[in-house]
Structure 1
Amino acid sequence: MAPRSAASRKALNASNLAGLGADTLARLLVEASAGDGGLKRRLKLELAAEVGSADLAAEIDRRFAALANSRTRVSWRKRPELLRDLTVHRRMIVERLLPVEPVLALDRLMAWFDLYPGLAGRVKDPKGELALLYFEAAADLAEAANATGPAGVAPLVEALQTRQSEWSNWIGRAAPDFRTEIAQALLDSTREGRAAPTGRLALVVRKLADRCGDVMAWAAAIPKEDAVKPDIGAEIARRFAERGHAAEARAALEAARPRAPEPARWTRRNAPAPTPEPSPAWDSAEIAVLEAEGETARAQTARWAAFERTLSGAHLDAFVSRLADFDDVEALDRAHAIAALWPDPAAGLAFLMNRGALRDGAAMVLARSEALTLSEEDTALWAGRFEGRFPAAALALVRRRATGLARAGLGRSEVVRALSAEAARLAELPGAVATLESHAAFIDGLERLSPTASGRGWR
């Protein structure tokens, strides 16, 4: 093996430093820490950890007490140093203390979190880095609580009840990572002998209920005035239906059914306002409720009705997947016919193209090209897909784009010139102009839409 070069031996890395020997490294660290408070604290933490968990906890406590008692403002220059210090102590708790003393570690980690209100009041932090540091540490809180087991519930409950402003955010963030029994115990503590939760606590309850799969608790944390709103009520109903609570799902859905607004007192003699169309979320919830009630035929009817109203591919796919052989082909033909006549032709064409119905899409383009308004990207993409099998549709799309721009006053633009050149190329394809006007006639139309001040031709 070739000897290492002098340059490689001088590189600052762990291997080369280890070669200096323990005595030399110790001396260098003492010298370096003399002018670096952060390094000195880190070294003291490591030394305390080597002695034992109680000594490490005591060293952590001393630093936390100093941070809690300090009233000194932390400038933006000092903020990074403070954030590093907080991160070091959190990692020592999680990586060194938690594996050997879970209860002690959870207590110290909660003390770390309790530093936040005081620090937030004296740290210049316009970017919110301090708040983000604490928010992202919520996963460590869940890890510590899980390691502690039932003994870890009481202090978290106490924190949530007495310091709700901050702890509701952290426990809510940690909720998906709690063990089920921990989340359930926390959830129970928020309900026993208490009124329905509101505000931040309600959000925490919903996250804990999600973790426990407790749909009743989740729904109970929704304010009544919100539960009757169509989309929120639909979400409540959907969750009930997924858990098999058909009666509760139906009640939630009906309470949130879209209704016409009450007429104002001075307009009551006028015709009543129409009932608003249900939202996609409400449609989906209604179908889920019907399935939960065992009304499969009505659910199928609702799927088709929702598709006819919204052109939703998801509803169509769900409808077709439940049909017998050959019935699905007929249903797809009906769906494509609906899309081809859709009031918004661009949306109807997009539906057909996204489902690969090129033949139906081409027929729609030729029948309704004058009503189409497409983006540059869609025109290029779909014309390219039509070109091989349906060149007339490709040509119609390109011409429609060019004509639309010309009518908008852009007939002399380079974009329209490029589109006219593309139209000339497509017009040469077999069958492209069989049912369309000639390329010369198309150019004459552009000429009329794009007059010049000098009166000279467009070409």
Structure 2
Amino acid sequence: MAKPSLASQKKVTAENLASLGVERLAEILVEVAETRTDLKRRLRMELAAGLGATHLVPEIDKRLGALETSRGQVTWRQKPAFLRDLDALRGLIADRLGRQEPDAALERLWRFLATHGATSRRLREREEAFEAVYAQAAGDLGRLLAGHDPHLAANALVEAAAAAPEAWSHWMPQTLATTPKTAAQIALTLAQARAKAAPGWIAVIRHLADAAGDVEAYAATYGAPALETPPVAGALARRWLATGKVEAAGQALRRAAPKPKGLRGRLAAPDFDWESAWIDYLEAAGDAAGAQAVRWASFQRTLDAGRAKAFVGRLDGFDDVEAEGKVFAYARAHDDFQKGLAVLMTWPALAEASRMILDRGDEARVEPDQAEDWAAKLRARFPAAAHRLLRKAAATAFKRRELKLSQRLTEEADSITI
């Protein structure tokens, strides 16, 4: 085995630091902790955790009390250390105290989550890292709630959500991921009994309805106009399908089906996600031919390769080969050159893509960056097509006055031996 280099031995890794020995590492930590309040607090808490819950709980309570009462702004310089300190506190409660005294940990996780409003006001700009700490705490809470009486868990959850519905509208999925269904059902009943118009409350009920497996309760959170919109109808239909209520899914989708528009009464193009749910409904209802017809019509309208693959994938024997040829022919002849070529390149059907480029090269309209990527895939087996594609892209870049890009594409094209 090769001896580690001097440079690798000087990298700050756990293995290399271990070689310093416990005493030297302790001396370094003490020195640094004298200049870093957050590190000193973390070390004190870790020492307390090692002594047991009776020593750790007062330290956690002290820090929670500071979060509950502090009002000073956290500057951008302080923010990284503040977020690390916040997440370390979460971990000490959920993991260290959670293993030693689960009930005490649960009580303090409720308090920790309740600090979100006060803490967020101390930050000039909230960010993903801050919200992620609280979202993870909500997940930790769900894990600890799983072992408790479902009625008590449900009551506590609804009380907390009612106090801060907007925050809980984001956290509820993490908490409910490990919460027993019984607790979710009880919490849903309790939440429905509360008439709240606060932002986020409806979303809380929807999350509870999902966890309880109550599609009717989920649907009841929407008014009639919303139920006629494709996104809501599609989401509702998927939930009905998941519970085996196929006809209920069909009814939900029909409410938002494309309607005639204009003087000639032509049907509007369907929403893509609604159409996906409609295909799933047709399959579940036993209308495989209808589902295939929708897939093909959708591909013709959108040139979505996923639709085409699903269409071909449902066929057996030589039928799938014939259908694949039908897809390629349609893509090659499509008016939108780039969209048609994209289907062939992502399939991948490089021979068909090469033929399309050479047959229709004069009308090729492809974004230079995309053309460069595609040419890289074509040049080994189909150098003439790669050369033509790069030349056309270089001309497009030149017309846009992107001269450096045009020159690079031209040089790349010239490097291909045809």
For residue 335 of structure 2, the aligned residue among 343, 347, 350 is 343
Residue of structure 1 in register with 2:411 after alignment: 418
Residue of structure 1 in register with 2:248 after alignment: 248
Q: Within 1, Cα distance between the matches of 2:412 and 2:80? A: 56
Taking a change above 3 Å as real, the CA distance of residues 247 and 55 of structure 1, as seen in their structure-2 partners, is: same
Q: Within 1, Cα distance between the matches of 2:415 and 2:196? A: 66
Q: Within 2, Cα distance between the matches of 1:59 and 1:407? A: 67
Contact 1:145 1:182 in 2 (8 A): no
Residues 6-51 of structure 1 show CA distances to partners (whole Å, capped at 9, x for unaligned) of: xxxxxx977877569xxxx99x98x999998767866876787677
Segment drifting more, 397-406 vs 332-341: 397-406
With the length of structure 1 as denominator, give the TM-score of the two structures: 0.70
Contact 1:228 1:256 in 2 (8 A): yes
Contact 2:94 2:137 in 1 (8 A): no
Segment drifting more, 354-363 vs 55-64: 55-64
Q: Within 2, Cα distance between the matches of 1:297 and 1:381? A: 37
Shift of residue 71, structure 1, vs aligned partner: 5.8
Count of residues in Structure 1 that have an aligned counterpart in Structure 2:
399
Residues 267-324 of structure 1 show CA distances to partners (whole Å, capped at 9, x for unaligned) of: xxxx357432113212211111111222222222222222222223222222223323
Contact 2:372 2:409 in 1 (8 A): no
Shift of residue 256, structure 1, vs aligned partner: 1.1
With the length of structure 2 as denominator, give the TM-score of the two structures: 0.75
Query: Greater Rg, structure 1 or structure 2?
Result: 1
Residue of structure 1 in register with 2:357 after alignment: 365
Contact 1:198 1:223 in 2 (8 A): no
Q: Within 1, Cα distance between the matches of 2:334 and 2:106? A: 60
Alignment RMSD (CA, Å): 4.3
Q: Within 1, Cα distance between the matches of 2:82 and 2:126? A: 15
Aligned runs of 1:223-372 on 2, under 5 Å? 223-260=223-260, 271=263, 274-372=266-364
Residue of structure 2 in register with 1:161 after alignment: 162
Taking a change above 3 Å as real, the CA distance of residues 15 and 372 of structure 1, as seen in their structure-2 partners, is: closer
Taking a change above 3 Å as real, the CA distance of residues 255 and 17 of structure 1, as seen in their structure-2 partners, is: same
Contact 1:258 1:276 in 2 (8 A): yes
Residue of structure 1 in register with 2:4 after alignment: none
Q: Within 2, Cα distance between the matches of 1:209 and 1:111? A: 25
Taking a change above 3 Å as real, the CA distance of residues 15 and 143 of structure 1, as seen in their structure-2 partners, is: farther
Contact 1:102 1:148 in 2 (8 A): no
Aligned runs of 1:119-158 on 2, under 5 Å? 119-121=119-121, 123-126=122-125, 128=127, 131-150=131-150, 151-158=152-159
Q: Within 2, Cα distance between the matches of 1:401 and 1:72? A: 56
In structure 1, what residue type is equivalent to 2:113?
F
Aligned runs of 1:1-40 on 2, under 5 Å? none
Residues 367-416 of structure 1 show CA distances to partners (whole Å, capped at 9, x for unaligned) of: 32221112335545555665666565455435544555666678996357
Taking a change above 3 Å as real, the CA distance of residues 113 and 399 of structure 1, as seen in their structure-2 partners, is: closer
In the alignment, structure 2 segments of 5+ residues that lack a partner are: 1-15
Aligned runs of 1:179-218 on 2, under 5 Å? 179-191=180-192, 193-194=193-194, 199-218=199-218
In the alignment, structure 1 segments of 5+ residues that lack a partner are: 1-11, 264-270, 427-459
Segment drifting more, 287-296 vs 50-59: 50-59
Taking a change above 3 Å as real, the CA distance of residues 47 and 415 of structure 1, as seen in their structure-2 partners, is: closer
Aligned runs of 1:7-86 on 2, under 5 Å? 53=53, 56-57=56-57, 60-61=60-61, 64-65=64-65, 67-69=67-69, 86=86
Q: Within 2, Cα distance between the matches of 1:276 and 1:218? A: 28
Residue of structure 1 in register with 2:6 after alignment: none
Secondary structure at the aligned position of 1:148 is classed as: coil
